[in-house]
Amino acid sequence: MKTQVCIVGAGPAGLLLGHLLCAEGIECVVLERRPPDYVLGRIRAGVLEQTTVSLMERLGLDARLKQEGLVHDGFNLADGERLIRIDIAGLTGKHVVVYGQTELTRDLMEAREARGLEVIYEAADVTLHAIHSDAPFVTYSKNDVPQRIDCRIVAGCDGSHGPSRQAIPAAVATEYEREYPFGWLGILADVPPCNHELIYANHSRGFALASMRSERRSRYYIDVPLTERVEDWPDERIWDELAIRLGPEAAAHIIRGPSLEKSIAPLRSYVFAPMRHGSLLLCGDAAHIVPPTGAKGLNLAASDVHYAAEALTKFFKRGDGEAIAGYSSRALARVWKAERFSWSLTRLMHRFPEDGPFERAMQVAELDYISSSRAAQTSIAENYVGLPV
């Protein structure tokens, strides 16, 4: 098989890039090692920046997003006793939309046949070859039959464990990483949220987050040591802990219910540079990971895709090689700003094991400053709603 762009990974980044390229008349094929049901079964974030929403609007795939997405004009920081509301609409003139990543992925998947986007699921043993050259190719097997795709560009949208990043020689790459000493224990339940906006809470017992997927489905998190097991956290124990950590105002409105899903996700900050090597471009988790504090993961992938689609369109339609050459620096400039925000908000809202009275006093002072400073709130709001691409 021959195509112009081979996209590895059919998560939201790979599908979004594929749709954008198809809309420009650029040939592409998407490879995914998992079956469609597995891809849709992954529980992920659900706060969309305007950049992500705008890409769906541009593709004309935003009908369900507009109908079911929850427009949020603000969010809250809690310090155990009070809620500090960040009025992102009033401070920036923008808003975010709560719409589950699973639902966005579903919209992209269901449109692929009508839009002519070819996606090959259950592609095993995907391997990248000759990415340093102008004639890369990708091999895989389907139903135990070896296959090969010749292309001009490979786009690695296959996450942190996929083959794309591993194809870049270690000698030309730099990895930046910060691992956190806790994970987020999440519970998903079909109950109304305790607040119509998200709450990020810093409590003496630890961090908590109240969020939602819809007006009838809630997603809550607490931070726990990495040694904890999900089996040791029955539903009632999680609800009890949430009621304490979120504070009395939120606790009064918590409605409890049986969990639909529970899991513990480790937290880390990670950047791989460069995001382009030869004929390979990396997008999304293949190049960077952020802690979920601040909801930047999916949105960073969308901004990568924006830059990649723009560069590939210029390359294939105008022969502009500089667009490809500049992709990594453009993407990384925004990546690092999002990493900074996610790291700083994580540092502010969590109690680290090594922290003492001084570090706690700094958190109290910072939250108090934020509560009374329009400038501080504006800075947070600008980053939360998404910096320009």
Residues with a catalytic annotation lie at: 72, 200, 292, 296, 384
Phi-psi region of 123 (alpha: psi -120 to 50; beta: other; left: phi over 0): beta
Alpha-carbon distance of 79 to 88, in angstroms, equals 19
Pairing label, strands 137-142, 70-72? unpaired
Alpha-carbon distance of 305 to 155, in angstroms, equals 10
Alpha-carbon distance of 107 to 56, in angstroms, equals 9
Task: Outline where the chain has alpha helix (H).
Answer: 12-23, 36-41, 50-59, 63-68, 88-92, 101-110, 112-115, 163-166, 235-245, 248-251, 297-318, 321-325, 327-349, 357-372, 374-385
Joined together, the tokens standing for residue 313 give 């369109």
Distance of CA 98 to the CA centre of its chain: 13
Return the sign of the alpha-carbon dihedral for residues 96, 101, 106, 108.
Answer: positive
Peptide bond into 193 cis (omega under 30): no
Unique residue bearing structure tokens 């979004």: 16
SS (H, E, C) 159-192: CCCCHHHHCCCHHHCEEEEEEEEEEEEEEEECCC
CB atoms within 10 A of CB 110: 11
Output the CA–CA distances (angstroms, integers) from residue 128 to 8, 21, 167, in the order listed: 9, 20, 7
Joined together, the tokens standing for residue 309 give 């689609």
Unique residue bearing structure tokens 């950049």: 51
Unique residue bearing structure tokens 């706690």: 360
Cross-strand partners of 29: 6, 118
**Contact predicate 307/389, CB 8 Å:** yes
Alpha-carbon distance of 355 to 338, in angstroms, equals 24
